[in-house]
Amino acid sequence: MANEASHDRFALIKESLDFIYDKEDSKKAYDEITLLIDKYRKKIKSKPYDMTQKDVILITYGDQIFHEGETALATLKRFLDEYVEDYINTVHILPFYPYSSDDGFSIVNYKGVCPRMGSWRDIEALSKDHRLMFDGVINHISQLSSWFNGFLANDPEYLEFFTELDPSTDLSQVVRPRTTPLLSEYTDDEGKVRHIWTTFSRDQVDLNYANYKVLLKVLDVLLYYVEKGASLLRLDAIAFIWKQIGTTCVHLPQTHELIQLMREVLHEVAPEVLIITETNVPHSENISYFGKGDDEAQMVYNFALPPLLAFAILKGTTTKLTQWANTLELPSDKVCFFNFTASHDGVGVRAVSDILDEKEIDFLVQNTLLHRGIVSYRAVGDEQVKSPYELNCSYIDILTHPGDPNSLRAKRMILSQAVTLSMPGVPGVYFHSLVGSQNYHEAVRKTRQNRSINREKLNFDNIQEQMADEHNLRNSIFKRYKQLLSIRTNEKAFCPYSPFEFLTIRDEVFAIKRYTKDKQEYIIALYNFTNKIVQIPRDLLQVGDDELIDIITHKLYNKIELPIESYGMLWLKKINNMKQKDEK
């Protein structure tokens, strides 16, 4: 069976190459990929793994937390060991490679570790107790990289590694995520000015996948990451990797084909490796990266969730959130969403451009500004019209004003995180959300980058002191977060691939019903999005005579109406099954 599966994978690899390249280049690429697979198969020991409810992913920078006398990655490991060892089993270390800008997303050397953070030895130490997600920042590379320097030096090895165009080329159809110029000027070693494609910034030069040699280099990098301990690979900004003049240059067929090819190559060496696509685009476009359910990404960032959750909490109504949730479908039981509320980036609003209208998006924009956040824009069309792209703000500051009472701030924040933990899929917990960080304006003043507002680097001793202080907001959020994580990871109904449905109960309440795979057990998660107690008629839950217990507080709920406190929650479970488990 193994040989048959391998034969099928190689057939799919060849099929993808034939679709993307001409006959001659396809054959050359196929031969080189075969050698590459043989090379890494000897180095990588495959370890089968099935994701369960215990899989929770912490999103963090390698130098997120620091302590004098040790590497940042070693300090991160110490934090994980001391605070979340029993609750978080996977760590997404944001780009820890040598870089020149954008906090790691402009990579100088794909195969190195930033000396300021540590070394590969530190990464290996982390991998002993946690599964690791690495970033595949493969749409672009730093202008200071050897690849781009080789290109500017007219080195034959790097010929056509980047997309060079006449600046008069009509690029008006290209979808833009930024307001910066699409083409940037560089002077090569012979003094010639060259105009090169740069989707995100002048320091992030787009790779040209029309040259199959670029694909080979990138595949080598991804396989190297697996060799170094990556169980999950996040494909950053992957929607933009294929360029074709006269099109939008986003979500092109070649892009999907490249993802399919990468998946087959990775699985030929390590079938357990998961691909996660990061595409901050309208929801209907984002989910296309699931493919048919067995050929592209196993996980897709659920970009619509953060803005919709914020909108619902600020408005006190879940109508839009529930309507959207009821559209969620998966093409197979082998894929799932990656659910999050905050990350190193801001809260993207493009994902809800086909869900919220302009006034509703402006409501989010105005609240962000009122709460001392920042809004970033993107260019639209030939006229360079600016449209809101993302809200740059810590998530707690999107939900509440910095001057609000800490009790209200903690309640709203924990409500948003609890919803995320119970959504179908795998939860992603941003480090700053876990410890209740607020806007960090000082970094914005220093870097002049809006996204720095939610990227503060933290002192380990200070964090320890603040999280031990019962009057500190960090303490309130972390303790409650940890409690929810400890419950979630022991409930099979929260398995990423288990069946689910969303109940429409009343405007103030968001309701998720999660089942175990055999549908013998369930958990109904109920959330009150208002500042007053809400009564839920039991018959709306469609649970018959089942005895229910809230697994958070261990209170029984068998009356005609179930009260939910302001910004409160219930995780209701059928008590019969719990008794049966105890008896066994």
Band the pLDDT of 3: cuts 50, 70, 90: confident
Say yes or no: 349 and 471 in one domain.
yes
Average pLDDT of the chain?
95
Q: Is 50 a known active-site residue? A: no
Residues 232, 92 contacting (CB under 8 angstroms): yes
What integer is the mean pLDDT of 307-332? 97
In a domain, 119, yes or no: yes
In a domain, 556, yes or no: yes
Say yes or no: 498 and 451 in one domain.
no
| pLDDT tens track for 424-443 | 999 999 999 999 999 999 99
Distance CA 500, CA 490 (A): 17
In a domain, 203, yes or no: no
pLDDT higher than threshold 70 for residue 577: no
Q: Whole domain around residue 501: which residue ranges?
A: 494-583
What integer is the mean pLDDT of 473-490? 97
Say yes or no: 476 and 498 in one domain.
no
Distance CA 131, CA 56 (A): 10
Q: Is 556 helix (H, G, I), strand (E, B) or coil?
A: strand
Q: How many domains does the chain have?
A: 2
| pLDDT tens track for 283-319 | 999 999 999 999 999 999 999 999 999 999 999 999 9
Tell me which H or E stretch contains 426: strand 426-430
| pLDDT tens track for 182-237 | 999 999 999 999 999 999 999 999 999 999 999 999 999 999 999 999 999 999 99
Say yes or no: 406 and 510 in one domain.
no
Band the pLDDT of 580: cuts 50, 70, 90: very low
Band the pLDDT of 381: cuts 50, 70, 90: low
Say yes or no: 458 and 356 in one domain.
yes
Residues 497, 460 contacting (CB under 8 angstroms): no
In a domain, 373, yes or no: yes
Domain end among 456, 488, 520: 488
pLDDT for residue 583 = 41
Tell me which H or E stretch contains 206: strand 204-206
Say yes or no: 435 and 511 in one domain.
no
Band the pLDDT of 584: cuts 50, 70, 90: very low
Distance CA 578, CA 170 (A): 64
pLDDT for residue 384 = 60
In a domain, 141, yes or no: no
Say yes or no: 359 and 506 in one domain.
no
More confident residue, 180 or 219: 219
Domain end among 466, 488, 510: 488
| pLDDT tens track for 498-553 | 999 999 999 999 999 999 999 999 999 999 999 999 999 999 998 988 999 999 99
pLDDT for residue 582 = 47
pLDDT for residue 147 = 98
In a domain, 40, yes or no: no
Band the pLDDT of 379: cuts 50, 70, 90: confident
Q: CATH number for the domain including 248? A: 3.20.20.80
Identify any residues that bridge with 380 across adjacent strands, giving them in sequence order: 385
In a domain, 576, yes or no: yes
Share of the chain above pLDDT 70, in %: 97
Domain end among 488, 503, 529: 488
| pLDDT tens track for 121-135 | 999 999 999 999 999
Query: Between the CA of residue 261 and those of 17, 146, 222, 386, 522, what are the distances in Å?
Result: 8, 26, 12, 36, 38
Tell me the residue ranges of DSSP E strands in 228-368: 230-236, 274-278, 299-301, 336-339, 347-348
Say yes or no: 477 and 521 in one domain.
no
Say yes or no: 480 and 499 in one domain.
no
Q: CATH number for the domain including 558? A: 2.60.40.1180
Catalytic residue among 103, 203, 206, 236: 236
Say yes or no: 283 and 424 in one domain.
yes
Say yes or no: 371 and 510 in one domain.
no
In a domain, 290, yes or no: yes
pLDDT for residue 84 = 95
Say yes or no: 561 and 445 in one domain.
no
Distance CA 153, CA 144 (A): 12
Residue 101 phi/psi, 5-degree rounding, is -170, 180
